[in-house]
């Protein structure tokens, strides 16, 4: 056992810089696990500033960097206020309206469900469907009750959200404005000679920056196009559904499959089995196809694609650790690990054995 551990240590930790980097990664991971909730505004601000820095970099050759920072920050504030005061009230109104319509929808679901045992008696039994319906009805009732009591029970969360809405823009501004100063301060704590860290940083900066910025743009494009299409088709709850469709692109394969269910259910109860429902599903399928076959290759041409199995494992693992944030950043984190593993120095030659070195 000792011999195996010595071999692994020689293979992966012979480089002093690799040991330092390993300790930094462990300390950072433990810090996020233990202090992540407390430092959530800082972490969110770093990510947002990371996304916006790409636009600052593109504008800097055409104007002073301070002016580019101000323009990008004003754009960020405009998008933030538009989201908070334009989209969110609309989504919240449609969400409460959907909660009020839930009993009627479930009654119609029960009507459809009761016909299944008659048409497919070998596959579906009445007892199974009734049990399933009672469970769904109970969940819907609990969700409706949560919406009613939200304004009272969530006052502390609302206050925390208001604090975040003040802190995050301030932190984003200073992260953009003083980026060089902050990076220099961090670099001063690291070894002067750090080729491994530089190589990993360049790879992570390329991969994660392209991915995060491209994914943010993909959410806006897919969600916006879906909203316009649903409004043209006069689908109820268009803002709510388009928001779900936009966010679904964060989790490839899984997100699109999951969000199709509410789109189909609401479309079915709004239009019935008719041409309008068929057109809805055709247009929705075209949007998904264009996203997967045109938009994704265009936005992520410089990003090394991860295998679908790796994506699913990353979503399950990081989602289990950090919840919704872990799901959102599962692929960037997996890309980070891939970049670290690809750049990690490996010494294949075995360590010298003292017994072998003794000629006697």
Question: How many residues does this entry show for the chain?
Answer: 360
| 239, pLDDT greater than 60 | yes
Q: Tell me: the pLDDT tens digits for 41-100?
A: 888 888 788 878 888 888 888 888 889 999 999 999 998 888 888 878 888 888 888 777
Locus of tokens 């070195």: 357
Which pair of tokens denotes residue 135? 């469970």
Contacts 24+ apart (CB under 8 A), 187-192: 190/20, 191/16, 191/17, 191/20
Locus of tokens 């900066």: 205
Work out the average pLDDT over 296-321.
73
Higher pLDDT among residues 154 and 16, named by residue: 16
Q: Tell me: the pLDDT tens digits for 157-179?
A: 666 777 778 888 999 999 999 98
Using CB atoms within 10 A of its CB, is residue 329 exposed (0-12), middle (13-18) or buried (19+)?
A: buried
Query: Would you state the pLDDT for residue 196?
Result: 76
- The DSSP call for residue 273 is S
Work out the average pLDDT over 98-123.
70
Query: Would you state the pLDDT for residue 55?
Result: 84
Higher pLDDT among residues 53 and 8, named by residue: 53
Taking a C-beta distance cutoff of 8 angstroms, is the pair 172, 45 a contact? yes
Please state, in angstroms and rounded to a whole number, the distance separating the CA atoms of residues 246 and 226.
Answer: 8
Considering only 58-67, 85-94, 335-344, 346-355, which range has the smallest mean pLDDT?
346-355
pTM score, whole prediction? 0.68
Which pair of tokens denotes residue 286? 């075209």
Query: Would you state the pLDDT for residue 351?
Result: 54
| 226, pLDDT greater than 90 | yes
Torsion of CA 335, 340, 343, 347, to 10 degrees: -140
Please state, in angstroms and rounded to a whole number, the distance separating the CA atoms of residues 322 and 299.
Answer: 27
Query: Would you state the pLDDT for residue 139?
Result: 64
Which pair of tokens denotes residue 175? 């992260």
Residue in 224, 206, 214, 202 with CA at minimum distance from that of residue 79 = 224
Please state, in angstroms and rounded to a whole number, the distance separating the CA atoms of residues 175 and 287.
Answer: 36
Residue in 356, 322, 352, 318 with CA at minimum distance from that of residue 335 = 318
Q: Which of 206-215, 260-269, 348-357 has the highest mean pLDDT?
A: 260-269
- Return the H-helix or E-strand segment holding 329: none
| 36, pLDDT greater than 60 | yes
Residue in 188, 183, 190, 184 with CA at minimum distance from that of residue 20 = 190
Locus of tokens 């008719």: 274
């Amino acid at each position: 056992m000792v011999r195996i551990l010595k071999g692994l240590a020689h293979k992966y930790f012979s480089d002093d810089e690799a040991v330092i980097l390993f300790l930094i990664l462990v300390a950072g991971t433990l810090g996020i696990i233990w202090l992540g909730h407390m430092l959530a505004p800082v972490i969110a601000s770093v990510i947002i500033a990371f996304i916006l820095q790409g636009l600052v970099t593109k504008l800097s050759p055409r104007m002073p960097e301070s002016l580019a920072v101000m323009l990008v920050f004003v754009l960020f504030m405009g998008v933030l206020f538009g989201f908070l005061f334009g989209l969110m009230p609309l989504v919240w109104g449609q969400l409460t309206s959907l909660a009020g319509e839930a009993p009627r929808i479930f009654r119609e679901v029960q009507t459809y469900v009761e016909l299944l045992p008659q048409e497919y008696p070998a596959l579906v039994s009445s007892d199974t469907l009734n049990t399933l319906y009672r469970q769904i009805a109970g969940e819907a009732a609990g969700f409706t009750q949560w919406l009613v009591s939200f304004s009272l029970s969530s006052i502390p969360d609302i206050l925390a959200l208001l604090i975040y809405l003040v802190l995050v823009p301030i932190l984003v501004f200073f992260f953009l404005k003083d980026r060089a100063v902050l990076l220099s301060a961090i670099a001063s704590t690291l070894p002067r000679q750090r080729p491994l860290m530089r190589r990993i940083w360049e790879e992570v900066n390329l991969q994660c920056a392209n991915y995060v910025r491209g994914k943010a743009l993909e959410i806006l494009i897919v969600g916006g196009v879906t909203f316009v299409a649903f409004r043209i088709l006069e689908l109820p709850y268009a803002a709510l559904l388009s928001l779900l469709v936009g966010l679904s692109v964060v989790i490839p394969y899984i997100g699109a499959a999951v969000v199709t269910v509410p789109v189909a259910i609401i479309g079915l109860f709004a239009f019935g089995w008719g041409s309008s429902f068929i057109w809805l599903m055709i247009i929705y399928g075209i949007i998904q196809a264009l996203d997967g076959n045109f938009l994704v290759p265009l936005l992520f041409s410089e990003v090394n694609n991860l295998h679908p199995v790796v994506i699913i494992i990353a979503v399950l693992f990081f989602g289990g650790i950090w919840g919704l944030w872990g799901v959102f950043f599962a692929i960037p984190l997996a890309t980070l690990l891939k970049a670290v593993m690809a750049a990690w120095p490996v010494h294949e030659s075995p360590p010298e054995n003292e017994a072998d070195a003794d000629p006697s």
